[in-house]
Structure 1
């Protein structure tokens, strides 16, 4: 069978690339492992179900503030079975809608493992057929990693693919890893009444260069305030199984928990799909090497998403998929640029970042200025009872170019996009400082942070 484009993987990146290619007039086909895995990790075992549960946790926190708004609750009942049922219904609905939509458009989905046979041929293991195409896009995603002797069994030790089988809330949970996944689940399970212990081997939560240390400190303080036991510079030494799990930690303590969740990262799915045989180059960590157009070392084969770099985000995969398809069609003006990829973490706060932090700007030799505004003075945040957090802009002192933006607080992930568009368009901080946003709104804090840079910081003089 002949196609313009065959995509290995119908997850976030493959799905978006396929629809974009269809819009551009290409004849498209997907190769996906099974009908149950359409949508990839994000839909089935990642961002969609976790954000559903996180919204429930957020509602519970909002309800706890109801008295301030004259709303009194007489008792509150939690139903983990109903939570799982409703969450899974959303996932299933999205997955089935995509399959129906693809069928309506005439986009074929072949089920089985896709294996490269040559630069223009894919063998579908399962359907036992070969498919030929002008171009191939690799969008095979990633898988969970394990840690030492902590082998996930889906019973007491879970990875983030298995945790969805946990239908009842445990009494106590140990989460290994204080990264994006660990702090998200820590917030979720704590708000649903679970005693949570988080261990992180580094000296702060969210130990990423792209996340300001201030964001890590804010989050650690709030998680502790909510009752999460945060242990930094700590790791598991050993554990034993009795009625539950008895875990020996490197800080000398012993914790007893019902289960352990491993939130320690993922690895690219680049094994067993014929890359070596065809000549597609990988780096030392197993990621596919791509150029600025997401093209691999074989000119007819492209790659997107989790297999191209450690920045494993669904929207990065979607973006790269469209960059790849655009280049296949002869357009070279759309280039891969991870510096403009937003990073959003959903925990006790929303934490959103794009571009450079102050430390990164300094390392790259910029003379920079910083505008910081707290949500404490934002009327809308005060009305909503969510006045913790800040907007932080990093700006080139000479050109006014916006180098980065970091927001912690209510709806940070949505607010960040207002700055990303300016950065992509090459517009400076002056455009933002002179903009008009509605009042009262959270967005006003973005303008105010820009004014702090462009017009100078506001000075408050205490008299007497």
Structure 2
């Protein structure tokens, strides 16, 4: 069996790359573990099911404000089984549609673990598949924490949490990153007492997220009833019917279950990389160039196995970068500095480009334009007037260096700025743009005006 391209992994990056390669006239095949894993971690155990649950949490929060809109609820019943059924139905529908679409296009999916036999051959379940090019898109797996090992009963990670079909009374979430703050919001809104512990001194302890965003989010989670504990770790635990956990702040908490949100590792073991000379770094990530090409000329890689920035849209983009380069296009290139990052918790937290601290470290003389949603009429109408748009601009050139939005639909609003940054369009253009009224987007224009024409607005500091 001979193909132009064989892709190891039919997750976000692999699947998108396969469809793009098909569009470009390549004969493509996928290798995927099983029919139940098509779509990868994002679809089956990550962003799709979690966003379904997060939307339910968001609706519950909106219902709390119903009285402001003349909606008086007589009672509310929460049903975890219905929640799980709806979530799983969406996941299953997307997964089956993926498979049906590939079949309709004539793209074959070989099920089983793919292993590189040589630079042009993938072995799967005794079959040898030949290809001119190979794309590695094998994704990532959850990491554990010391002796806290997921058991699918009381200790969960984000690959196993989906088996939890009842709402626990009390939950400990370890890790205040993107995963931890999302699940803290979800389970708190569904009535669970949540304790969220983070080793660092703030939530979302990433250089790419402004500290102000972290403070806003921590304050709201606390207001919703999440017990947020910073600079805190787990020392030990015992199972005495309930889990008794000793924390580094000197306290002991009893919880029904623990969710580990402490990161992921690339799936680069046992697929034959060493046998064909593909280089990895010390953390196991495949080394790639700007065109996602590995140390072996005809083998490429995309997604979670190329860097710690593990985002589905990064994988999708890198997959298309790789295919384009296979076909002789050199204009597409991977660039993590312009990769949007969106976190879905009690607020949407969206960022692209540099923060103020990063701009200062890189020696820029910069302006900052800040506009609060507090004065945005659409946000006020919607009862979501918390948050801000924050624009960082090079004073000398007007080039937009970064944009950070916290608040309603931040992930959607961010793209209005991100593509201007990619195109090299300066802040003057954005300051003169026309956006509809009333709209949340007006705050984006106003933040540009704050920079270009001078500040008039204010934002409550975190």
Q: TM-score, normalised by structure 1?
A: 0.98
Q: Does 1:22 align with 2:37?
A: no
Could you tell me how far apart the structure 2 residues matched to 1:207 and 1:294 are? 28
Give the drift of 1:243. 1.5
Match of 2:180 among 163, 179, 182: 182
Q: Bigger CA drift: 450-459 or 436-445?
A: 450-459
Deviations 1:314-344 (A, max 9, x none): 0000000000000000000111100111000
Give the drift of 1:407. 0.1
Could you tell me how far apart the structure 1 residues matched to 2:457 and 2:21 are? 53
Deviations 1:359-394 (A, max 9, x none): 001111111110000000000000000000000000
Match of 1:295 among 293, 299, 312: 293
Q: Which runs of 5+ in 2 are unaligned?
A: none
2:8 is matched with: 8
Q: Alignment partner of 2:68: what SS?
A: helix
Deviations 1:80-134 (A, max 9, x none): 000000100000000000000000000000001111111111111x2x1100101
Q: Alignment partner of 2:101: what SS?
A: helix
Deviations 1:25-81 (A, max 9, x none): 000000000000000000000000000000000000000000000110001000000
Q: How does 1:36-435 map onto structure 2 within 5 Å?
A: 36-124=36-124, 126=125, 128-435=126-433
1:440 is matched with: 438
- Cα-Cα RMSD: 0.7
Could you tell me how far apart the structure 2 residues matched to 1:286 and 1:72 are? 55
Could you tell me how far apart the structure 2 residues matched to 1:360 and 1:143 are? 30
Q: Alignment partner of 1:256: what SS?
A: strand
Structure 2 contact 84–165 (Cα < 8 Å) conserved: yes
Match of 1:449 among 434, 439, 447: 447
Could you tell me how far apart the structure 2 residues matched to 1:424 and 1:459 are? 27
Q: Alignment partner of 1:416: what SS?
A: helix
Give the drift of 1:356. 0.4
Could you tell me how far apart the structure 1 residues matched to 2:177 and 2:219 are? 15
Could you tell me how far apart the structure 2 residues matched to 1:135 and 1:164 are? 36
Q: Which runs of 5+ in 1 are unaligned?
A: none
Q: TM-score, normalised by structure 2?
A: 0.99
Give the drift of 1:305. 0.2
Structure 2 contact 173–258 (Cα < 8 Å) conserved: yes
Give the drift of 1:442. 0.1
Deviations 1:241-280 (A, max 9, x none): 0121000000000000000000000000000000011000
Could you tell me how far apart the structure 2 residues matched to 1:276 and 1:355 are? 35
Give the drift of 1:459. 7.0
Aligned residues: 458
Could you tell me how far apart the structure 1 residues matched to 2:236 and 2:145 are? 12
Could you tell me how far apart the structure 1 residues matched to 2:348 and 2:93 are? 26
After TM superposition, where is structure 1 displaced by more than 4 Å over at least 4 residues in a row? none
Give the drift of 1:458. 1.4
